[in-house]
Amino acid sequence: MTEEVVRANGVELCVETFGSPEDAAVLLIAGMTGSMDNWGDGFCAGLAARGRFVIRYDHRDTGRSVAYPPGEPGYTGRDLAEDAVGVLDALGVARAHVVGLSMGGGIGQVLALDHPDRVATLTLVATSPVVPTPHELPPPAPSLAAYFAAGGTPEPDWTSRESVVEYLVAGNRPFLGTHPVDEDAARALAGRVFDRSPNIAGSNNHVHAAGGGESRSRLADVVAPTLVAHGELDPLFPLAHGEALVAEIPGAILLVLPGTGHELPAAVWGLFTDRLVEHTA
């Protein structure tokens, strides 16, 4: 694997690839506040071993990509969507299989609608429609709604590695399903995120920049073959959100991830990778 900082959509973004550029490209787009690290090394390496050129990257304000002052994002959700196209341009990739998680799934929908020539297939994980649909979508689970109402996880001392690691691990717990959690691995990942993010407090800028990423098109206009992978226990976007995507996108297929919350845990990597390899064949 190789990691480099490239010029994409007018800014510097950090990109890492796995596998051979001769293979079909798979672009992984992380969720809100998430860096490329949220796509596990083992998942990326396993997908590359099955004949895919895997691309992951740090969103603005995460990892080694361009950073802005906390609370002052110099970009919108639209910019985050165009960044994904910029990454493909920087790597000389004309067309990719796009895989988006949560906010990354919203970006994937925008790409499929506004840049259909760049999207070979679309895979939406733990996400919700970004354009209006006739479906009445359920709110977050009561436990998660209570967590939000209480203010979420208190902000850490952003200069303290230990404090940030505990903040990241604790902030993830309310979103999980029933799969056992490897606490040591979770803390190791949080530590890596801290170490790779000189301006880690700025990752919360995504909350302020989320608007502006919507498309004026309809999901019925998506022409890319689409796989919707959704946790059966997703507390943020209950399963009905994934079912709405399948109902609206022509020919879309639903993969329900058992025991899974708003996440893509290692416990389902095998199942998900099998279906993704098949979908991107």
Residues annotated as catalytic (active site), given as ranges: 102, 234, 262
Helices (H), the chain: 41-49, 77-91, 103-114, 142-149, 161-172, 183-196, 205-209, 239-248, 269-279
Q: Rounded to an integer, what is the distance from CA 240 to the centroid of its chain?
A: 19
Q: Taking a C-beta distance cutoff of 8 angstroms, is the pair 231, 265 a contact?
A: no
Angle between helices 269-279 and 41-49 (to 10 degrees): 40
> In sequence order, which residues have a C-beta less than 8 Å from that of residue 130 and are 6 or more positions away?
106, 109, 110, 213, 214, 215
Residue count of the chain: 281
Say how many Å lie between the first and final Cα of the chain, rounded. Answer: 22
Whole-number Å distance between alpha carbons of 114 and 112: 6
Q: By three-state DSSP, how is residue 262 classified?
A: coil
**Other Cβ atoms closer than 10 A to 69:** 12
User: What distances in angstroms separate CA 91 from CA 15, 77, 225, one per listed residue?
Assistant: 9, 22, 23
Whole-number Å distance between alpha carbons of 170 and 187: 10
Q: Taking a C-beta distance cutoff of 8 angstroms, is the pair 53, 73 a contact?
A: no
> In sequence order, which residues have a C-beta less than 8 Å from that of residue 136 and are 6 or more positions away?
none
Whole-number Å distance between alpha carbons of 201 and 195: 13
Whole-number Å distance between alpha carbons of 129 and 70: 28
